[in-house]
Amino acid sequence: MTDRVTLSFSEQGVATIVLSHPPLNIYDLAMRDGLIESITAVRDNPDARSLLIRAEGSNFSAGADLAEFGSASSIFEGRRIRWDRDPWLPLLGLSIPTVVALKGYAVGSGLEIALLCDIRIAATNVVLGLPETKLGMLPAAGGTQTLTRLVGPAAAAPLILTGRNFDADEAAKLGIVSEVTEVAELDKTAEKCAAQLALLKPDIAMKLRRCISASKDLPLHLGLELERRLALNS
């Protein structure tokens, strides 16, 4: 791991990744590398049953380190370097359920990481958003796709096109977060959720996640067929 990211495993099989670059947990290249390394370690650990992603300090993540874009020859080159080191596909490729605990700022790449997780739990003080639009950029770490698939085009479009921030109550109404809790209770609530998910049989957890994911793309009759086929093989 790097000094930006730590990884631990509990006896119950809960893997915990902690973003550790306070105060804002800016998502720089070192954090990207740490996340990839940590997610790979979780994938390769046969005893891992669920994953919790949380952060040290008052904020989950205020997004990418914009100063790093200035060090590249162009914005495109800066983006290309980051795409080559993005943890999105490794995170999506995990076979275990994933939980993320959000507090303070969770914007830009910070929100995009969260949107790739199965369950999002937010503190009452969370500030969410994809502000890249205001900077003349696309939220191209998956935000245009994951948010739209989660809440639908009609609800996603105003958030993406304006780049405005939104709070925990609005996120809960839209279904972006599944639970809102007090800041002091956030980590405990998320840990309890991850521990419950770790009790699932690994093959059942993998099949449930596959069915849920497929529902975004498959027609209903094909989704039902997939569900039936996986159930018969359980």
Residue 10's CATH number:
3.90.226.10
Q: How confident is the model at residue 85 (pLDDT cuts 50, 70, 90)?
A: low
**What are the tens digits of pLDDT across the range 14-73?**
999 999 988 999 888 888 889 999 999 999 999 999 999 999 999 999 987 766 655 555
The average confidence (pLDDT) of the chain is 90
Q: 174 and 210: one domain?
A: no
Told to judge if 132 belongs to the known catalytic residues of this protein, a careful annotator would answer yes
Q: Cα 8–12–13 angle (5° rounding)?
A: 55
Q: Is 50 helix (H, G, I), strand (E, B) or coil?
A: strand
* Given the residues 56, 68, 77, 132, the one annotated as active site: 132
* Given the residues 112, 179, 185, 227, the one annotated as active site: 112
Told to judge if 68 belongs to the known catalytic residues of this protein, a careful annotator would answer no
Q: Which long-range contacts (CB under 8 A, 24 or more apart) does 165-172 make?
A: 165/107, 165/127, 165/128, 165/129, 165/131, 166/128, 166/129, 167/126, 167/127, 167/128, 168/122, 168/123, 168/124, 168/125, 168/126, 168/128, 171/120, 171/122, 171/126, 171/128, 172/122
Domain of residue 212, residue span: 202-232
Domain count for the chain: 2
Q: 191 and 110: one domain?
A: yes
Q: 147 and 224: one domain?
A: no
Q: How confident is the model at residue 217 (pLDDT cuts 50, 70, 90)?
A: confident
Global model pTM greater than 0.95 = no
Non-local (6+) Cβ contacts of 37 within 8 A are: 1, 2, 5
**What are the tens digits of pLDDT across the range 144-194?**
999 999 999 999 999 999 999 999 999 999 999 999 999 999 999 999 999
Q: Is the separation of the CB atoms in 31 and 60 below 8 Å?
A: no
